[in-house]
Amino acid sequence: MKFLFSTSFSSRDEAQRLLPLIAESGFDGVEPTLLEEGFPAVRTYREDAESLRKLAEQAGVALPSMRGGPLFWSRFGSSDPQLREEAVSLAEKAAEAVRLMGGQVLLIVPGRWEPAQLYAELYANALETARRVAGAVEESGITVGLENVDNGFLLSPSEWRRFLDETDHPRIRCYYDVGNTVYAGLGHPEQWIRELGRERICRIHVKDATRNRQLTALCEGEVRWPAVTAALEEIGYDGWIGAELQLPADDPLAFLRKIRRKLRDIWGL
């Protein structure tokens, strides 16, 4: 089992400062975020990806994946065909950035339910976009992990199974977030893991939360960690585990070390 820290960099200088701290705290990898203004940025994604890879190599951490960031929330399942077209184009660029960084997985949020949109329309639009994204990233060899988030869409493991099976492409899988399920009040993560199965889950994010929509420190919320780790073992998951938490500006190294200790406690490593 390997552990990564999922974060965003506002600039190259910030990445250069934080990557060694993430490595020093015991994380094996880092999951950066593609942003309009940040590092890497959409307009300079190739140069930024290559630069970030060099910085990560110097720090001694891998870059196994990248978050698509907020860019896909309003685009992926939108009623506007132009916005969905932009989602496909962004996914192609982001997948190329992941490839240049030496990663394997691109995390994308599969849209959100618009107020004036029928749910059936959102589902159809998102399914079409997922299939088009699969074709767009195929040449890069990157897998797209669609993340379960609090977006009013795909609200049960059964619905996720149906959506992924209807997408019907090995490059489109689920980037399952344990804490998001609890935060959104959508049941028990361990049962989601069992129902989705190893064949549909490409990566795991961890955070803790309560069912009244509060994010908490790891092991201080309502996630039943022994049940979660048992379910992951049951389905044979042995891939990356990503801690997706807000990194504080004040003493980030102490925070990172604390998170890494909690992960060791949870997994008994």
Residue 130, Ramachandran bin (φ over 0: left; ψ between -120 and 50: alpha; else beta): alpha
| Cis, peptide link before residue 40, omega less than 30° from 0 | yes
Give the pLDDT confidence score for residue 269 in this predicted structure.
64
Buried/exposed code over 246-268 (b: 16+ C-beta within 10 A; e: otherwise)? ebeeeebeebbbebbebbeebbe
Model pLDDT for residues 196-244, shown as the tens digit of each residue: 999 999 999 999 999 999 999 999 999 999 999 999 999 999 999 999 9
Residues near 109 by beta carbon (within 8 Å), at least 6 away in sequence: 68, 72, 73, 76, 146, 147, 149, 151
Domains within the chain, CATH numbers bracketed:
2-267 (3.20.20.150)
State which residues of the chain have pLDDT below 70.
269
Query: Which residue, 26, 44, 25, 27, is CA-closest to 36?
Result: 44
Model pLDDT for residues 118-145, shown as the tens digit of each residue: 999 999 999 999 999 999 999 999 999 9
Give the pLDDT confidence score for residue 125 in this predicted structure.
98
Q: Are strands 214-216 and 208-210 parallel, antiparallel or unpaired?
A: antiparallel
Distance from C-alpha of 77 to C-alpha of 171, rounded to nearest angstrom: 18
pTM for this entry: 0.96
Residue 118, Ramachandran bin (φ over 0: left; ψ between -120 and 50: alpha; else beta): beta
Distance from C-alpha of 206 to C-alpha of 6, rounded to nearest angstrom: 10
How far does Cα 188 stand from its chain's mean position?
19
The tokens for 196 are 């989705």
Query: Which residue, 187, 186, 182, is CA-closest to 209?
Result: 182
Give the pLDDT confidence score for residue 90 in this predicted structure.
97
